[in-house]
Every structure is written in C-alpha cells, then in structure tokens.
Chains A and B, each alone.
Chain A
Amino acid sequence: MKNIACSKEHALFLKKRKQNLAVVWALRLGILGLLLGMWELVTALGWIDPFIMSSPSRIGSTIASLYRDGTLFYHIGVTLWETLAGFAIAVALGFAVALLLWWSDTVRKVLEPYIVVINALPKIALGPLIIVWFGTGSEAIVFMTVLVGIIVAIMHVLSAFIGTDENKILLMRSMGANKWQILFKLVLPSSYPSVISMLKINVGMAWIGSIMGEYIVSRAGLGYLIVYGGQVFKLDLVMSATFILCVLAAGMYFLVVLLEKVLVKNTQR
C-alpha cells in the first residue's frame, strides 16, 4: 500500500476496513471471555461438578502449583523437545525423499505402493513395536512423531515438485539447462508455497505424533500428564495440560506463518 494522498472515498474505505478488523478481534476475544466466564460460573454455582469439568480458576491454580513444584517447564520442555525434533526430522527427511522420488521416475514408481500403504496405516498400531525397538525413552516418542509426519511431508512436497509447469521446464531445456539447474532455478522456488503449507500441516502432525507417543510410553511430558491425570481422576491436570498444548501448538503455527511472511515477502506471486 502506497502512502500517497488519497481521495475521501478511499480514506473512508480504509477506515471501514480498520473498523471491521477491530470488530472481528473484539468478537474473537469476547467469545473466549464468555466461554471461560460461563465455565467458571456454572462450576462455581455448583450446576456442574468441577471435579469432572474442572474450571478456569482450578486450571490456573493447577498450573501455578506445577510451576511451584518446578515441574511445569520440565514437562513442557520434554514434550516441546520431542515435538520439535520429530518435526525437524520428518520435514528434512520427507523433503529429501521427495527430492529422490522427483529425480527418478523409476524409483517413484517402485516406491509408490509402499508409500500409499504406510500412509493408510494407523501409526498407533506400531506402538508395541516402537516400545520394543526404541525402549521407553524420548527416542520412541520422536520416532512416532517422525512416522506421523514424514509421509505427509513426502506426498505434499512431491506433488509440488511434479506439478512444476511443463512449459517452464521446456523453456529451461531450450536454454540448455541440466537437471540440477532445473531443480534449483525452477522446481525449488516454484514449490515454495507448497513447502510452507506442508510445514503448517506438519506442525499439527508433530503434536499428534508426540502426544500419541507419550500416551503409549512416557515418564514425562504433557501427554504423560494427561494420561496420568486421567488415570488418577485429576481432571484439573488433564485440562491444564490440554490448555498448555493449545497455547504451544498455536505458538508454533504462528512461527511458521511468520516464517512464511519473511520468505515469501519478496516474491509477489
């Protein structure tokens, strides 16, 4: 948007736009406040048993006590580390495999049915195997996270690579480009938006993977708190861990959006 002198209509248009945005934000926060307020109210009045439903204030005090124990950041740290490690490995490995499959049609044709089957398989079915193979430490959970994310990463990136405009490839070939040049000057830059959307999807996948992993086998982490809380009927703990998860997942998503803004800033698609 250029900062040139604008007409009255345009100033009005901009003002309206701003007002509209303010309304949207007010409603977003309003709904959140209303829900939390009602939750607090119905549990405080005893209409619903806070032992089963928990309440915002009980969640607050549970988190505060976890903080006082010094275990809050320990659990967050464990899950965050597992999620980030799994995310990074899934994305990097998925990208590399997609590259390989793009490079060789034969390899792609050979591996296609394997990928389809692994994609369709519910990864949780591998839980017992993972415990036996990797033990009960963080490695097992990271492995589960990678398993959940990698196929999505491969398929998403590969379809972007394969979808590269045929005419642009023809153009580059007419200039005498080799496959490496086509890869670096055309295929990779034109797949940028798809890679970013793959990252966004994989943020979600990584959390699914790490929490699922912690359900199966863990001694710490937010997933562990949820399972433990459920078993001993401490629903405040379950709700608190879920709430922290929401905040972390949203934070990671916004980081990717921020990354997208920085990367795609100058490309004017």
Chain B
Amino acid sequence: MKNILKFDNVTHIYHTVRGEVVAAKNLTFSVDEGEFVAIIGPSGCGKTTLLSLAAGLLSPSGGTIERRGSYGYMLQKDELFPWRTIEKNIFLPLEIRKQNTPEARARALALAEKYGLGDFLKSYPSQLSGGMRQRAALIRTLATDPDVLLLDEPFSALDYQTRLNVCEDVANIIRSEKKTALLITHDISEAISLADRVLVLTARPARVSHAHVLDFGNIPPLKRREQPTFSGWFEELWRELNA
C-alpha cells in the first residue's frame, strides 16, 4: 500500500497579537490509500488546524506534507446553502472546479440516488432532517470524486440516535466507494467503530503519542460496538488520551 498523505516532522505555529501558539510540533504520520484513519485528541489540541494542513489550506511552518490525489472536506455542520436545492448544493463543488459537465452532474446524481437522496433533490435543506442533510453534505463532498476524504467531527452536531445511524451510513458509503478517509474526532467510540487505525494526539503542541491498528476488518460501526474487544479498545484509548 502506498502513502497518499504523509506528515513528516510537521510543525505549525500560529501568530496572534498576544504571541505565538505552537499548534503542532514534530507531527509525523501517514495515511495509506484506501485506509480509514481516525485521529483522536484532547479538545483544543489543534485538530482543525491539522485538517486544514492536510487539505492544503494552510502551509506548515516547518516539516513537509506530501499530498497525492484530490481532497474533499466535510465539516461538523452540513453547511448546505439554504438558498440552493439539495441538487444544486451537490453541484456546488463541480461549479467551483469548472467541472460542471453533464457527465459529472449525472455521476453526482447517481450517487445521490444510490444513497437515498433521490426524492429530496428538488427540496431545500430546511426541509430535510439533520441526518439527511449530513448525508447530502457527504454526497456533495463525493461529487468531485476526491481520493481522500477529510472528516472534521462530521457527526458531532447530530443527536445521538441520528449520529449512530449517519455514522453507519457514512462508513458504508466510504467503504463501498473505496475512499481513503482521515477522521478527526473527540469521540473515542466513534473512532473505534469507524477506523482501521487510530492515532492518539497529545495536547498542544499536537504530536502523535500512540497508534493502533484495529482488528475489526470490515465489520460495520454498529456491529463493532457489540464486539467483545470494543470496550478494551475504549479503555486503552481513554487512558492514553488522559495521560
């Protein structure tokens, strides 16, 4: 397997009037093609900075970041534009990248149909439930067929039940579309139920303190929560997170 994203000794410093903040120091990790990697860390450890670096929106103050392929970014909230229909929201990245061709639109629409948004294409976001909206946001991210998905706590704004369901859906969609994914979350069980590999970050400046390969294989999220080893992983990660 080849690395599709590689952080090598990355340091990132923020400058504010009050001084400088070292958000990340000597941060090294990589993500393989087709892998689902989850990163957990204490709150305020610079998770969003890390994703912005991975997305190429920020350049690191030190070290190197190797990125291959194209990237799609999914945020905490769906951020669907309320004045656009679901269909038009899904076409947004196509318009921006000037790829708004009939074929690309047809591909995006086929994805939407396949994952249950077919009846809502002409609806406005306000007419959809939170879970459906987040699903539409995922289809929008997938519209340009990115190689890597960057997920910034994409379920944290949902209520618990919806959250479990959408998590299940998203895992399913990402696996069946064979995407590489980098998830950042503070929710330990979400990380265990989704990822192939979990990295634990330290508090600021962020650095990888532990890395684990999970042994669940292709078991979907809800089933993983029923596995006997689930609670063992949870305890271990909890301990490491609070170390």
A165-186 vs B, Cβ < 8 Å mask (1 yes, 0 no):
1011011111111000100011
Interface residues of A in 213-269 (CB under 8 A from B): 266-269
Interface residues of B in 59-114 (CB under 8 A from A): 71-73, 75-77, 79, 81-83, 92-93, 95-97
Instruction: List chain A residues, Cβ under 8 A from B97.
Output: 175-176
Question: CB distance B83 to A189 under 8 Å?
Answer: yes
- A190, B81: Cα distance in complex, Å: 8
User: Is A74 in contact with chain B by the CB < 8 A criterion?
Assistant: no
Question: CB distance A167 to B79 under 8 Å?
Answer: yes
Question: CB distance A269 to B83 under 8 Å?
Answer: yes
Question: CB distance A185 to B127 under 8 Å?
Answer: no
User: Is A103 in contact with chain B by the CB < 8 A criterion?
Assistant: no
- A87, B73: Cα distance in complex, Å: 43
User: Is A192 in contact with chain B by the CB < 8 A criterion?
Assistant: yes
Question: CB distance B57 to A190 under 8 Å?
Answer: no
Contact partner, A171, options B75, B82, B126, B127, Cβ 8 Å:
B75
User: Is B121 in contact with chain A by the CB < 8 A criterion?
Assistant: no
Task: Please give me the residue from chain A that is nearest to B93 by CB atom.
Answer: A175
- A185, B81: Cα distance in complex, Å: 9
Contact partner, A190, options B83, B96, B144, Cβ 8 Å:
B83
Question: CB distance B96 to A269 under 8 Å?
Answer: no
- A167, B77: Cα distance in complex, Å: 9
Task: Please give me the residue from chain B that is nearest to A165 by CB atom.
Answer: B79
Chain A interface, DSSP helix/strand/loop, else mixed: helix
Contact partner, B75, options A170, A186, A266, A268, Cβ 8 Å:
A170
Q: Whole-angstrom distance from the CB of B153 to the nearest CB of chain A?
A: 12
A-B pairs with CB below 8 Å: how many? 55
User: Is B120 in contact with chain A by the CB < 8 A criterion?
Assistant: no
Instruction: List chain B residues, Cβ under 8 A from A181.
Output: 95-96
Instruction: List chain A residues, Cβ under 8 A from B83.
Output: 189-190, 192, 266-269
A185-B96, A268-B124, A268-B126 given; A174·B81 CB < 8 A: no
Question: CB distance B57 to A177 under 8 Å?
Answer: no
User: Is B173 in contact with chain A by the CB < 8 A criterion?
Assistant: no
Contact partner, B96, options A165, A172, A266, Cβ 8 Å:
A172
Instruction: List chain A residues, Cβ under 8 A from B75.
Output: 167, 170-171
Contact partner, B55, options A174, A177, A189, Cβ 8 Å:
A174
Q: Of residues A175, A177, A269, which shows the largest number of chain B Cβ atoms within 10 Å of its Cβ?
A: A175
Question: CB distance B79 to A269 under 8 Å?
Answer: no
Instruction: List chain B residues, Cβ under 8 A from A171.
Output: 73, 75, 79
- A185, B95: Cα distance in complex, Å: 10
A140-177 vs B, Cβ < 8 Å mask (1 yes, 0 no):
00000000000000000000000001011011111111
> What are 24 A-B pairs with beta-carbon distances under 8 A?
A165-B79, A167-B79, A168-B79, A168-B81, A170-B52, A170-B75, A171-B73, A171-B75, A174-B55, A174-B71, A175-B92, A175-B93, A175-B96, A175-B144, A176-B96, A176-B97, A181-B96, A185-B92, A186-B81, A190-B83, A267-B83, A267-B124, A268-B126, A269-B83
- Contact surface of A with B, Cβ cutoff 8 Å: 165, 167-168, 170-177, 181, 185-186, 189-190, 192, 266-269
Instruction: List 6 extra interface pairs beyond A174-B57, A176-B96, A267-B124, CB under 8 A.
Output: A167-B75, A174-B73, A177-B96, A181-B95, A185-B96, A269-B82
